[in-house]
Amino acid sequence: MKQAILFVTLCMAVLNALADKKITISASPAQATIFQIGKDGKEKPLGIGTAVIRVDKDEPFKIVVRLEGYRPIAKTYLNSKNVDLPKEDKITLEDRLVKVNGQPYDSRIFINGVDQGNNSAWVEVKKDGSTTVEVRKSGFYTKTKTYYNRQGMDIPPIDDFITLSDRALFVKTFPTDVQVIVNGKKVGEGNTEVVIPIQSCVTVEYVKEGFVSIEKQYCAKDGQPMPPISENIILKDRQIAIRTTPTDATIKIDGRIMGNGEYKARIPFNQCVEVIVEKSGYVSTTKNYCNEDNVQPPPSNDHVILSLDEAFTSSVQSDQANLNFTIETSKNEEDAWKILSQITMNYFDNIELADRETGYIRTSWNINNFKDNTIRTRIIVKQADISPLKYTIKLISEYSGKAKTSVKEDQLFFPWDRILNTYKDVISEYQSRLR
């Protein structure tokens, strides 16, 4: 009898354990709403902050706790002999949730670097963590925002709208180390993103030593063409900064005077330029710089030092060089001829042509070689008149600007406004002795 009573007691205990159970659910924050999830998936509100639920035997009871701005938490309670259900259960929402929308409509959202595929996304920010969101679109400057879910930091918003407005241009340069300077400030080298604020323009310089810079303006203003999404910038024309010693030497480019002492010479692509540096009293220097494929590129800087011209220090500047001087003489023709011949032979060893009948004398060239120059000099005498007796005398002085130039290379010599010291008195002697 006692055994029967004990059996019945145990059965009653089991039945009571498996009967429906009540659980008090509390939510944190207290503003969170507790929903029951039905078999059809629909949600039925049970309470705000707290709710009491009855869990039937072997019938799962599903709930979800929601609060705008938080990631919801779902939970299932099952009343079975293998599960101990609590009388109370506290559910705390800790992870934040932000609904982020990007503009323009075809922008794309990236969460911690992962493409979300469109311009709208739920962003989860775990407790004590952070999440970085980027909104991208070709041709626009990317906006980046980081949300924090930790004490002492700003609470993430429930909704956030990130609008792209500033334009962006991706520049690829060649050479790859070209400096990109925006409104006077360097922003990068080589491949660089250039930002154009909305309703404004920027001036961009592409600069590299030894090359001619390129300057462009890009605008993001209403009514004006928008900047391109990308652009290739190729610096082709070379530039050489020429500096001279002496500092006031003349710089000529392809025969044109361009400056004194300093000048930046431009060498267009696939072309060459001739640079001449000269100054009176110094040996001129000629250089050719080429900007062509498969040719050694010109230097970015060149210091041209002129050496002193020994011919200059061995001569005097004179207004008697290369000009006709007419001398009237009181001598008779015979005496005058003798004086002309004597003076000429004193300065020149060889007479190329002498004709007393016509009163004509022409000497051979006297050549004087210097380290960096060649000077040739000759005298030509012509009878200009008979009554009164007059003679025209011309002292010809020419230079080549190069050493050891052949006297026969007429095309290489040029008139010189100086006279070698050897001949500086020859005109004066003609004048004094023929009077």
How many CB atoms neighbour CB 303 within 10 A?
10
How many CB atoms neighbour CB 138 within 10 A?
11
Tell me the β-bridge partners of 120. Answer: 101
Cα–Cα distance between 98 and 64 in angstroms, integer? 18
Paired tokens of 1: 């009898």
Cα–Cα distance between 355 and 345 in angstroms, integer? 15
Predicted local distance difference test score (pLDDT) of residue 3: 55
Predicted local distance difference test score (pLDDT) of residue 280: 86
My answer on whether 33 and 73 are in the same domain is yes
Order of strands across the sheet that contains 96-103: 120-125, 96-103, 159-163
Burial track 205-231 (b if 16+ CB lie within 10 A, e otherwise): bbbbebbbebeeebbbeeeeeebeeee
Q: What is the CATH number of the domain that holds 81?
A: 2.60.40
- List the domain range (segments joined by +) for residue 275: 238-308
**Residues 380 and 354 sit within 8 Å (Cβ to Cβ):** no
Q: What is the CATH number of the domain that holds 286?
A: 2.60.40.1120
My answer on whether 294 and 382 are in the same domain is no
My answer on whether 67 and 120 are in the same domain is no
My answer on whether 100 and 88 are in the same domain is no
My answer on whether 392 and 430 are in the same domain is yes
Tell me the β-bridge partners of 271. Answer: 291
My answer on whether 288 and 360 are in the same domain is no
Predicted local distance difference test score (pLDDT) of residue 12: 45
Nearest CA-CA partner of 193 in 224, 162, 221, 172? 172
My answer on whether 100 and 74 are in the same domain is no
My answer on whether 296 and 400 are in the same domain is no
My answer on whether 157 and 178 are in the same domain is no
Among 148, 163, 178, the domain-final residue is 163
My answer on whether 50 and 66 are in the same domain is yes
Among 308, 325, 353, the domain-final residue is 308
My answer on whether 212 and 245 are in the same domain is no
When divided into structural domains, the chain yields a total of 5
Q: Within 13 Å of residue 224, how many CA atoms lie on the same side as its CB?
A: 11
Per-residue pLDDT of the chain (435 residues), as tens digits, is 455 445 444 444 444 444 568 999 999 999 999 999 999 999 999 999 999 999 998 889 999 999 999 999 999 999 988 888 899 999 999 999 999 999 999 999 999 999 999 999 999 999 999 999 999 999 999 999 999 999 999 999 999 999 999 999 999 999 999 999 999 999 999 999 999 999 999 999 999 999 999 999 999 999 999 999 999 999 999 999 999 999 999 999 999 999 999 999 999 999 999 999 999 888 889 999 999 998 899 999 999 999 888 999 999 999 999 999 999 999 999 999 999 999 999 999 999 999 999 999 999 999 999 988 999 999 999 999 998 999 999 999 999 988 999 999 999 999 999 999 999 999 999 999 998
**pTM here?**
0.71
Among 193, 209, 234, the domain-final residue is 234
**Residues 32 and 66 sit within 8 Å (Cβ to Cβ):** yes
Predicted local distance difference test score (pLDDT) of residue 81: 81
My answer on whether 32 and 88 are in the same domain is yes
